[in-house]
């Protein structure tokens, strides 16, 4: 992933910056496409994971659809080559302006997450004289066995229609005359590594699907959301096992011949292709602990502070003897750490550090807190020419 020539080139760039391995992204896309095609499954990349335009253009070139959660994401998806007919629009809080915009775009469907949202989309669709395709995002009340802050499938969370709301919709379908209720949608959480969770989801969806079909709805598509986890411990060249993942749905979900099956992978597509490159500003000793202060912090990568996430950290420029370090950022926040007691070769001011698996929920969650500038980004297929022009 990082050879000597590349490291030398990267050392000439101003840190911190994101570095994307576009080869790995292509390989991941080939792999997911092949695995999904085995069962004729449809995938919609979750733009929220990484909305970088170059990354999006690469993803859309594989004919994959998009999962958007704001009007701006829909716009970005369309500009970056995703087909409108393959765009789903989800999100628990859509503004009227966003709904009106989505109505005008003729996208695949709007996923509704509450009764009130259904009423508003119905009214706005009526006003513009349109019958809008929608899917019901249903909260299946399932544990995803992942970090609590990225669990979305239990009834204590704000996501999806509750069973009471679903009952109401089933008994009052005539209230929604401007909606074509054609899909059901689920998303129970992110970074799910216990694949049996998806089998449980299928069991629940089978019951819900049967119930809704029996109530007279013509449900044409089932969307299982995203959530497939990646390997943060050994990230190098790890492409998620998409075959195994889709096989679970093929085995456990009872698909009717009139129904298509959809997924919204985010992290599993872009997670491993991104790295955050940062330099050591200082090495200080507090009590008995050596602390490395980097020039990247939670403003560039929020995941460790928000979800206690561990990303692999590598010193690219030292060949010294291993020592233990706490790795911190420069931000005035006590949680601004990337790791504690991390083994690194003897580390000094100026060393170049790579933080792995930051292609998903990295760059998109950056902020300018402390009035910091947003980090630059470089791509493996452009980097050497860029480096030459910089030298
Ligand atoms: N579909 C829906 C409705 C979602 O809410 C999400 C993610 C996805 C698909 C994509 O999930 P993925 O395949 O990426 O797991 N910032 C957090 C993750 C938040 C996920 C939000 N929803 C993190 O850094 O771990």
Look at residue 4 in the predicted model and tell me its pLDDT.
Answer: 85
Question: How many angstroms does the Cα of residue 149 sit away from the middle of ligand 1?
Answer: 11
Look at residue 391 in the predicted model and tell me its pLDDT.
Answer: 40
| Residue 27: CATH number of its domain | 3.20.20.10
d(Cα 128, Cα 148) in Å, to the nearest integer?
40
Is 76 near ligand 1, meaning CB less than 6 Å away?
A: no
d(Cα 270, Cα 24) in Å, to the nearest integer?
9
Q: Are residues 179 and 326 in the same domain?
A: no
Look at residue 203 in the predicted model and tell me its pLDDT.
Answer: 97
Nearest of 143, 255, 231, 155 to residue 189 by alpha carbon: 143
Q: Are residues 294 and 148 in the same domain?
A: no
Look at residue 383 in the predicted model and tell me its pLDDT.
Answer: 76
Question: How many angstroms does the Cα of residue 44 sit away from the middle of ligand 1?
Answer: 12
Question: How many angstroms does the Cα of residue 267 sit away from the middle of ligand 1?
Answer: 7
Look at residue 236 in the predicted model and tell me its pLDDT.
Answer: 79
Residue nearest to atom 9 of ligand 1 (CA): 226
Choose the final residue of a domain: 246, 265, 284: 265
Q: Are residues 48 and 158 in the same domain?
A: yes
d(Cα 89, Cα 73) in Å, to the nearest integer?
9
Q: Are residues 314 and 201 in the same domain?
A: no
Residue with tokens 């980090």: 375
* Per-residue pLDDT tens listing for the chain (391 residues): 778 888 888 888 999 999 999 999 999 999 999 999 999 999 999 999 999 999 999 999 999 999 999 999 999 999 999 999 999 999 999 999 999 999 999 999 999 999 999 999 999 999 999 999 999 999 988 887 787 787 787 788 888 998 899 999 999 988 999 999 999 999 999 999 999 999 999 999 999 999 999 999 999 999 999 999 999 999 876 899 999 999 999 999 999 999 999 999 999 999 999 999 999 999 999 888 999 999 999 999 999 999 999 999 999 999 999 999 999 999 999 999 999 999 999 999 999 999 999 999 999 999 999 999 999 999 999 876 555 454 4
Query: Structural domain of residue 107, as residue ranges?
Result: 23-265
How many domains are contained in the chain? 2
Look at residue 390 in the predicted model and tell me its pLDDT.
Answer: 47
Query: CA torsion sign, 251 to 148 to 16 to 374?
Result: positive
Question: How many angstroms does the Cα of residue 339 sit away from the middle of ligand 1?
Answer: 23
Is 303 near ligand 1, meaning CB less than 6 Å away?
A: yes
Q: Are residues 321 and 233 in the same domain?
A: no
d(Cα 103, Cα 154) in Å, to the nearest integer?
30
Is 369 near ligand 1, meaning CB less than 6 Å away?
A: no
Q: Is the pTM of this model over 0.85?
A: yes
Look at residue 384 in the predicted model and tell me its pLDDT.
Answer: 60
| Partners of 7 in the β-ladder | none
Q: How far apart are the first and last CA of the chain?
A: 22
Question: How many angstroms does the Cα of residue 179 sit away from the middle of ligand 1?
Answer: 26
Residue 390 three-state SS: helix
Is 361 near ligand 1, meaning CB less than 6 Å away?
A: yes
Is 318 near ligand 1, meaning CB less than 6 Å away?
A: no
Look at residue 154 in the predicted model and tell me its pLDDT.
Answer: 78
Choose the final residue of a domain: 211, 231, 265: 265
Residue 14 in contact with residue 371, Cβ under 8 Å? Answer: no
Is 363 near ligand 1, meaning CB less than 6 Å away?
A: no
Residue nearest to atom 23 of ligand 1 (CA): 361
| Residue 318: CATH number of its domain | 2.40.37.10
Question: How many angstroms does the Cα of residue 163 sit away from the middle of ligand 1?
Answer: 23
Question: How many angstroms does the Cα of residue 360 sit away from the middle of ligand 1?
Answer: 9
Residue nearest to atom 16 of ligand 1 (CA): 361
Q: Which of 153, 190, 242, 363 to mutate to test the pocket of ligand 1 (most atoms within 8 A of CB)?
A: 190
Q: Are residues 257 and 290 in the same domain?
A: no
């Amino acid at each position: 992933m990082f050879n000597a020539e590349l490291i030398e080139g990267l050392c000439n760039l101003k840190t911190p910056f994101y570095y994307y391995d576009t080869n790995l992204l292509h390989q991941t896309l080939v792999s997911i496409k092949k695995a999904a095609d085995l069962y004729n499954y449809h995938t919609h990349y979750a733009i929220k994971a990484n909305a970088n335009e170059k990354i999006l253009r690469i993803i859309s070139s594989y004919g994959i659809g998009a999962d958007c959660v704001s009007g701006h994401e829909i716009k970005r998806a369309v500009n970056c080559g995703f087909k409108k007919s393959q765009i789903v629009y989800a999100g628990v809080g859509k503004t009227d302006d966003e709904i009106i915009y989505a109505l005008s775009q003729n996208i695949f469907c709007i996923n509704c997450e509450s009764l009130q949202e259904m009423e508003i989309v119905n009214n706005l669709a009526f006003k513009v004289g349109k019958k809008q395709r929608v899917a019901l995002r249903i909260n299946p009340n399932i544990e995803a066995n992942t970090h609590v802050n990225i669990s979305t499938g239990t009834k204590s969370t704000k996501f999806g229609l509750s069973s009471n709301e679903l009952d109401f919709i089933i008994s009052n379908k005539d209230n929604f005359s401007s909606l074509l209720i054609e899909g059901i949608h689920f998303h129970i959480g992110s970074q799910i590594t216990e694949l049996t969770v998806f089998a449980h989801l299928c069991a629940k969806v089978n019951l819900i699907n049967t119930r809704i079909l029996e109530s007279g709805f013509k449900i044409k598509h089932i969307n299982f959301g995203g959530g497939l986890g990646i390997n943060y411990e050994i990230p190098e060249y790890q492409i998620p096992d998409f075959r195994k993942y889709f096989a679970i749905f093929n085995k456990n979900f009872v698909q009717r011949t009139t129904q298509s099956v959809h997924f919204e992978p985010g992290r599993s597509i872009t997670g491993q292709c991104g790295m955050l490159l940062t330099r050591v500003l200082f090495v200080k000793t507090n009590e008995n602990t050596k602390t490395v202060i980097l020039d990247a912090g939670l403003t560039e990568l929020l995941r460790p502070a928000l979800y206690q996430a561990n990303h692999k950290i590598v010193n690219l420029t030292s060949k010294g003897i291993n020592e233990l370090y706490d790795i911190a950022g420069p931000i005035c926040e006590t949680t601004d750490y990337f790791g504690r007691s991390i083994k690194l070769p003897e580390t000094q001011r100026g060393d170049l550090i790579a933080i792995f698996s930051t292609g998903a929920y990295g760059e998109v969650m950056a902020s300018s807190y402390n009035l910091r500038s947003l980090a630059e980004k470089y791509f493996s297929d452009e980097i050497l020419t860029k480096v030459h022009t910089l030298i």
